[in-house]
A and B are shown apart, each in its own frame.
Chain A
């Protein structure tokens, strides 16, 4: 498989003539989304790609290559021809947690990619079933700590955002809940709403309507500022766990070796998308947090990826969760 992929890469390199660099893009660009269609990363990728296509004058086609916590698609992107015609929407999992989760990972988030820029992050919330006997985060943490493994935490599968972000919470707050794995956010949320499990951590976009509808309750949002989508939910800083700052970020990457002028062009298109009023509005409706100007540069993303890998590795290693 691998040799086939590299043969494919070679064929595309040979086919690509250098003259293309000036007139880039001369044909549609493929954006690999390493998750199934319809999920938060896919939705963000499609909204951003829609506007970037207009700026670049060529369509960006989203190609979902799901599998193994996003690492299948990310591996394919890493091994693609660095000609600017294959880019990807990377993610907290694929470019942060994966090196610790998958010992046999075939790519290095820092070394095998050219960072293009941060797209959008979706904040993480700590939520519990609606009749959980705690009125705020402090009470929740105290009770969860006292109950030890008697309390049930749901997550959407090993390596999922809800899994890793709760590992961080458990490590920081000293919780040792029983973890109940589900296949995806939907079933996990279903059992939280019906009260089969006690709490979970997940992205705001998956939870916001359930919170507003009173089916579950939110204790805190792990961002520096409250979200306009849920103005009543306190931040972790306000609620007494300031060190818990985490968001499921999504950022655009190109394979290592993609020419500088091309990555600059892509970064510029991404920046224009994030400045576009309609695109902004659609992303903010999801509860997403957009990077400021300083956070939109290629260098900022490169530094951030290194920080994320360094942050997740000890948390995941300590928990003993390793996907092979």
Chain B
């Protein structure tokens, strides 16, 4: 995970740490969502805490950290905000969601290859022939392993 730390030096530092600024704003957003969800929950007192005490306290603390990190970014030079790879996000997360949607409906026999093929689209270097063959082989392996050997109650085929 530290591999990207070294990269900081190679990127020319802009005047402001836009990455930290964005990071701070992100925390503030998380804190606001938590506060919105926790509203209405009784806080109770320190001595006898209500359901909302800890979430609210943590959210406020988080917002504080968010503000601090934003300020660090705004006032001191630091790493720049990085570009997002939407292709990877779309297809990797799409593959996972497609698994969730198809596994109980159609079974592993459909969900397995589908997941791997959608995932394959995330990488420009994918060799589709290889991925297709591999997805079928691996699905068969998974059925043997999980259903036959380990007896997990995962649906294999539901439409026959």
Contact = CB atoms under 8 A, between A and B. Distances in A.
A and B touch in the complex (CB under 8 A): yes
Interface of A: 4, 7-8, 11-12, 15, 30, 61-63
A262 to B, nearest CB: 19
Nearest to A5: B104
B159 A15 contact: yes
A301 B32 CA distance: 49
B22 interface: no
Given A15-B158, A15-B159, A8 B105 contact: yes
A4 B158 CA distance: 15
A10 to B, nearest CB: 10
A62 B153 CA distance: 8
Contacts of B160: 15
Interface of B: 101, 104-105, 151, 153, 158-160
Contact of B159 (A4, A7, A11, A63): A11
A297 B159 CA distance: 34
Given A12-B158, A15-B158, A15-B160, A7 B105 contact: yes
A77 to B, nearest CB: 13
Nearest to B153: A63
17 contacts: A4-B101, A4-B105, A7-B105, A8-B104, A8-B105, A11-B105, A11-B158, A11-B159, A12-B158, A15-B158, A15-B159, A15-B160, A30-B153, A61-B151, A61-B153, A62-B153, A63-B153
Contacts of A30: 153
A220 B73 CA distance: 66
Contacts of B105: 4, 7-8, 11
A4 B105 CA distance: 9
Contacts of B104: 8
Query: Which secondary structure characterizes the binding site on chain A?
Result: helix
Contacts of A7: 105
A11 B155 CA distance: 14
Given A11-B158, A15-B159, A61-B153, 9 more contacts: A4-B101, A7-B105, A8-B104, A8-B105, A11-B105, A11-B159, A12-B158, A15-B160, A63-B153
B147 to A, nearest CB: 10
Nearest to B151: A61
A30 B151 CA distance: 12
Contacts of B159: 11, 15
Contacts of A15: 158-160
Contacts of B151: 61
A51 to B, nearest CB: 18
B158 to A, nearest CB: 7
Nearest to B159: A15
Nearest to A32: B153
Closest 8 pairs between A and B when the two form their complex, measured CB to CB? A63-B153, A61-B153, A8-B104, A8-B105, A15-B159, A11-B105, A30-B153, A12-B158
Nearest to A31: B153
Contacts of A63: 153
Contacts of A62: 153
A285 to B, nearest CB: 25
Contacts of B153: 30, 61-63
A84 to B, nearest CB: 16
Contacts of A11: 105, 158-159
A155 B72 CA distance: 47
A30 B156 CA distance: 14
A15 B105 CA distance: 11
A87 B158 CA distance: 17
A201 to B, nearest CB: 24
A87 to B, nearest CB: 13
Nearest to A12: B158
A91 to B, nearest CB: 19
A11 B160 CA distance: 11
A222 B159 CA distance: 48
B42 to A, nearest CB: 13
